[in-house]
Amino acid sequence: MPKVRTLGVVGLGLIGGSMALDLRKRGFAEVVLGVEAEPVNAEAALNLGLVDEILPLEECARRSDLLVLAVPVGAALAMLPQVLDIFADCEGDKIVIDVCSTKSALVEAVQEHPLRRFYVPTHPMAGTEYSGPWAAQPGLFDGRACIICNKDDSAPEAVKLVEEIYDCLNMRVIPMDAANHDVHTAYVSHISHVTSFALALTVLEKEKDEKHIFDLASGGFSSTVRLAKSNADMWVPILTQNRENVLQVMDTYMEMMGRFRKAVDECDGDAIRELIFQANRIKRILR
């Protein structure tokens, strides 16, 4: 039996589209409504069977029992208070969640809203470097971690339903406060993207005079630079909203690069070896 009659998904890209697919296929929702600003994406989402219907935000919010904001965090920041205002004008309890990669700004934006308790901030930690409805795929979330932030500020029944969503998506739920979330993701996600972007820029700079440089690109290079394909619409608001944490991690990172540079510059094999040994400890946490 479906947990909710009507699920609304705002933003039918990689994350929203993949959630829509699995939550319907696995029987969590009976009807899936979508909101999608890009006409091409909206048509694709219908053709791909991600949703039953595309609607404007307000109508979708009114008709959904549970609404998922799966848009870049800048857009989510504008929509979240609107959605709670629409809820205030509807009968019965409705719940809204977001799935954005930064959490503090969203939480702050509605901290004083009378319907704050019907909002649950979440972050399913899954994805690929692709975007748009074509990137949506079944099983994207299976086995990954999902963070739920500031649970005590949400209604217990709202938290319970949201935990059921992520249980249905086969995710491990980790509770965390929003500020901590933003520090942690700066370390294990945001910095990886910045280093990939910088690596791509470095090599593309060289390519200006060396057309054949990429003939040599090895598998190692491809995997290190893969995230540089990521979408600016998503990453500009993440990096600006999580500015302070990202800057702090970038500074630590550049300090580490500086240590490496010094060791290489001085041809100090022992120092390079020690840095590599230290870095090798990453083995115990990588699958």
Sites for a copy of itself among residues 231-260 (CB under 8 A): 231-232, 235-237, 239-240, 243, 246-247, 249-254, 256-260
Residue 24 vs 181, nearer CB to a copy of itself: 181
Q: Please report whether residue 82 would count as binding a copy of itself according to CB under 8 A.
A: no
DSSP one-letter string for 151-216: GGGS-HHHHHHHHHHHHHTT-EEEEE-HHHHHHHHIIIIIHHHHHHHHHHHHHHHHHTT-TTGGGG
Q: Please report whether residue 134 would count as binding a copy of itself according to CB under 8 A.
A: no
Residue 46 vs 200, nearer CB to a copy of itself: 200
- Going by C-beta distance under 8 Å and a sequence separation of 6 or more, which residues neighbour residue 104? 178, 179, 181, 182, 241, 242
69 touches 76 (CB < 8 A): yes
In terms of C-beta density within 10 A (0-12 exposed, 13-18 middle, 19 or more buried), how is residue 239 classed? buried
Interaction with a copy of itself in 158-177: which residues (CB under 8 A)? 172, 174
Q: Give me 184's structure tokens.
A: 């942690």
Interaction with a copy of itself in 210-229: which residues (CB under 8 A)? 210, 212-229
Candidate list 47, 112, 152, 283; residue touching a copy of itself; CB under 8 A: 283
> What are residue 29's DSSP bridge partners?
4
Residue 47 vs 212, nearer CB to a copy of itself: 212
Pairing mode, strands 66-69 and 4-10: parallel
Q: Please report whether residue 35 would count as binding a copy of itself according to CB under 8 A.
A: no
**DSSP H/E element including 260:** helix 243-265
Residue 46 vs 145, nearer CB to a copy of itself: 145
118 touches 94 (CB < 8 A): yes
Residue 65 vs 182, nearer CB to a copy of itself: 182
Candidate list 31, 108, 147, 164; residue touching a copy of itself; CB under 8 A: 147
Q: Which of the ranges 27-35, 52-60, 113-121, 272-280 carries the binding residues for a copy of itself, by CB under 8 A? A: 272-280
Distance of CA 241 to the CA centre of its chain: 13
Interaction with a copy of itself in 89-128: which residues (CB under 8 A)? 125-128
Q: Which of the ranges 11-19, 35-43, 82-90, 142-150 carries the binding residues for a copy of itself, by CB under 8 A? A: 142-150
